[in-house]
Amino acid sequence: MSDDQLPDSVPGQHDLGPAVERFDEVVDQQLERVRGNSVLDRVFTTASHVGDFSLIWHSINLLLGIRGRNPQRVITFAALIGLESLMVNQGVKRLFRRARPTTTGDDRLEVRQPRTSSFPSGHASSATFAAALLAPRTYQPVTALIWLAAGTVATSRAYVRIHHASDVVAGVVTGGILVAITRRVIQRLGHDDVL
């Protein structure tokens, strides 16, 4: 399947300006220096897979919910990350419709073929959003591990060549904005305890 067959991409619409294009090229060149390393290939390919459909974030949410015996938090988080995904994948991405660097990822790495356009990275957005909501529910070193997982999932998308590096950066920013809005709305509704 070519880029122009992706439902949310426009043929030939790749750039966001020369500075962004250059940034993407430089990052991809640096990543290419470590692609082929069996450990890194496995780490980033696995991270990309567990980020699919926010599987890692739902799993962590469930574990924290069981430990904290708070089913309301589990349900609230699941609903919020579902809403975040919907807003990014069916909302923000449709505004940009940027073609992906490849449609199937790097030939050396097996990843799921996405159906949406490239900008911003949904994996990076959901990783940031999830980590910001999940990390405060636990303590060190688990908090640090959640943020490390988020960074790994986000970075994996450029590593496996499903996203441009700028898509990942934009995804992190998007996730940060959405979590700030979410917190503000929940505070105004007087339901701080659900997070």
pLDDT tens-digit map of 15-62: 678 999 999 999 999 999 999 999 999 999 999 999 999 999 999 999
- 122 CB burial (10 A radius; 0-12, 13-18, 19+): buried
Q: Considering the chain, what is the average pLDDT of its residues? A: 90
Q: What is the pTM of this model?
A: 0.88
Model confidence at 1, pLDDT cuts 50, 70, 90, reads: very low
| Gyration radius of the chain over CA positions | 17
Whether 53 contacts 127, CB under 8 Å: no
What torsion do the CA atoms of 104, 106, 112, 117 make, to the nearest 10 degrees? -50
| DSSP assigned state of 5 | G
Structure tokens belonging to residue 94: 């449709």
Model confidence at 11, pLDDT cuts 50, 70, 90, reads: very low
* 34, 52, 103, 195 from 169: Cα distances, Å: 20, 18, 19, 25
Instruction: Give the long-range contacts of residues 149-154, CB within 8 A, separation 24 or more.
Output: 149/47, 149/56, 149/60, 151/127, 152/43, 152/44, 152/47, 153/47, 153/48, 153/50, 153/51, 153/56, 153/123, 153/124, 153/127, 154/121, 154/123, 154/124, 154/127, 154/128
